[in-house]
Chains A and B, each alone.
Chain A
């Protein structure tokens, strides 16, 4: 078990190093190929004079060879002092993603503000889509061809076909602006200040995001349940004289839902940093809107930071799934 965890952790670190290399190459080396300077993307605009460009290039270290640049980029995560552009030095502790010259703020501060929003959104939606998707999928899979199955799968098809930029505004129009059932707070409410407001502000985003995933999970669960219930060991369970509940829950679902854990880990990890549309529609200032803003502003340090955080979330989620799997499936030796 310990050996398994350690080897996974080493693998995780290697993946993160590769991710950092790729992001480094994309964001810092590609501008060089385009005969441009990363300086533009760091400060978000062209320097006023060639002399200024020269001095900034030197200050950011872009005149150094690529490996040396990569090394200082990597070492920078663990804390360094950065310039805020007005020649005053700002202390940037771990995890340091640099300084946003567009926002006059440390990138880690910006991410720290955005992360709770995205995590609230992702986790809440995940709970909803797990409940919805697994229930519909299981009921459908147990009785293929039945009315429940057809209704469930039609609903799933509809849900998967409707994009959030459609369902989101429609839901807002109906429940907030027409019926007035939900407050129009136009954004995220901090959970520590107003838990009820937090819940209400996120209810629609959760539902809209969850619909999409619930549909996918319902279909996945259905096919897994369908397959599992035809397994020989289900026949054995029936031959023992077990009641239907035990057969379905203990023997069927345990096996049918195990693969869902894998997909769930990847999905929830992947959602950090990719809930751009939901966040934009509902005006939630999470990682998604932060990265969109950064792209618009040519704010490279922020973009770099969000990318690394998103990659980190995905890798962590996969690690948790791997370890969990060892407990769920006895054939996987940990």
Chain B
């Protein structure tokens, strides 16, 4: 459901706060036998404490790879990570695996997509959560157990002390995700990354989990990144949003700006392919024709051009020859989080298309 009214969190003004996380020209490239896979290619964004950023895009757009790069999970693999990831002014990119280990779980932690496969089947929930606490704190096992039980209570697991010794397969899907969240938050991280935290869950549980993430954000004043392909999640939860396509940011901005005035044809496509529950009669969803680009042979010009319906609105064949820059739009209302878009269509033309061709179908 798209809620275009400013969400409660968005009212908060982050203007006078220093960015807590700065991602600057991040590139993650994987050399393979078939060629260089450019999973993330020049991504930049900023995030303040207490702010929630949504990264949206299709599968293979580079969302999860970005998250894993922030956590330094590509270290020790073939992947080449360049650019800067400044966490509280400390660049994480050049850190060694061992230095990064101290950051992981403590300052930055992550909630993964599929809690069943992300939890170890052979160890109890309690063991796995207290392990995350013990690795960063010099406390006894008993204290870690106590802390884990508190954390399980906080994320809403009934009879937490009794469930401590349960195995993951004895938990329901929603409970497992709660346990994952407890594990991610037990060290009170300053940055929480949630990689599709609600994908495997039913709608009621989804809402509860998102609410829980927001509550914990308020309590710890952490910065949060939510990775999702669901614009509904973004509209409900986030303060700003980055739309990714083919490893690049194609549009970003404050949530209310972006939903009020989406400018990139790909974002229109995402909005058009989203089920709406605020309509009496369900129109057919409009899929985006074609499939995501190869990350080895990225299309020349605009990365979205093979699937874009509007490339004929641009003079010459610029969409096919010239890579568009990420430029501020005229509709920016936020000073800090500027609304930016990567598109050759002239701004007036874009607004015209949105008004006459896109809006009526949404």
Contact = CB atoms under 8 A, between A and B. Distances in A.
Interface of A: 231-233, 235-244, 246, 251, 254-255, 258, 328-331
B36 interface: no
With a 10 A CB-CB cut-off, give which of A232, A251, A254 has the most chain B CB atoms.
A232
B344 to A, nearest CB: 39
Given A235-B112, A331-B167, A241 B118 contact: no
A233 B101 contact: no
Report, nearest first, the 9 A-B pairs whose CB atoms are least far apart.
Answer: A241-B105, A241-B104, A232-B117, A240-B105, A240-B132, A233-B120, A232-B118, A330-B167, A236-B118
A330 B125 CA distance: 12
B119 A255 contact: no
B119 A241 contact: no
A240 B122 contact: no
A239 B169 contact: no
In this complex, the member of B73, B114, B117, B118 whose beta carbon has the largest number of chain A beta carbons within 10 angstroms is B118
B169 A241 contact: no
A224 to B, nearest CB: 14
A240 B120 contact: no
Contacts of A330: 121-122, 167, 169
B3 interface: no
Nearest to A237: B120
B109 to A, nearest CB: 7
Contact of A251 (B105, B112, B120, B180): B120
Contacts of A241: 101-106, 132, 135-136
A240 B135 contact: yes
A255 B121 contact: yes
Contacts of B104: 238-241
Given A241-B104, A241-B105, A241-B136, A236 B122 contact: no
Nearest to B119: A233
B106 to A, nearest CB: 6
B231 interface: no
Nearest to B110: A239
10 contacts: A232-B114, A232-B118, A236-B118, A236-B120, A239-B105, A241-B102, A254-B122, A329-B122, A330-B169, A331-B167
Interface string B76-103: 0000000000000000000001000111
B183 interface: yes
Interface string B52-80: 00000000000000000001010000000
Contacts of B102: 241
Contacts of B117: 231-233
Contacts of A235: 73, 112, 118
Interface in B272-323: none
Contacts of B73: 235, 238-239
B134 to A, nearest CB: 10
B131 interface: yes
Interface string B151-183: 000000000000000010100000000001001
**Quick one: which of B71, B73, B101, B106 has the most chain A CB within 10 A?**
B101
A42 to B, nearest CB: 53
A237 to B, nearest CB: 7
A331 B169 contact: yes
With most chain B CB atoms within 10 A of its CB, the pick from A235, A255, A258 is A235
Contacts of A255: 120-122
Contact of B71 (A239, A242, A251): A239
A88 to B, nearest CB: 61
Contact of A236 (B97, B103, B112, B167): B112
Contacts of A236: 112, 118-120, 128, 180, 183
Contacts of A331: 121, 167, 169
Nearest to A252: B120
Given A232-B114, A242-B105, 20 more contacts: A233-B118, A233-B120, A235-B118, A238-B73, A238-B104, A239-B109, A240-B109, A241-B102, A241-B104, A241-B105, A241-B132, A241-B135, A242-B101, A242-B131, A242-B135, A251-B120, A254-B122, A255-B122, A329-B122, A330-B169
A330 B123 CA distance: 8
B75 to A, nearest CB: 9
Interface in B109-149: 109-110, 112, 114, 117-122, 128, 131-132, 135-136
Contacts of A240: 104-105, 109, 131-132, 135, 183
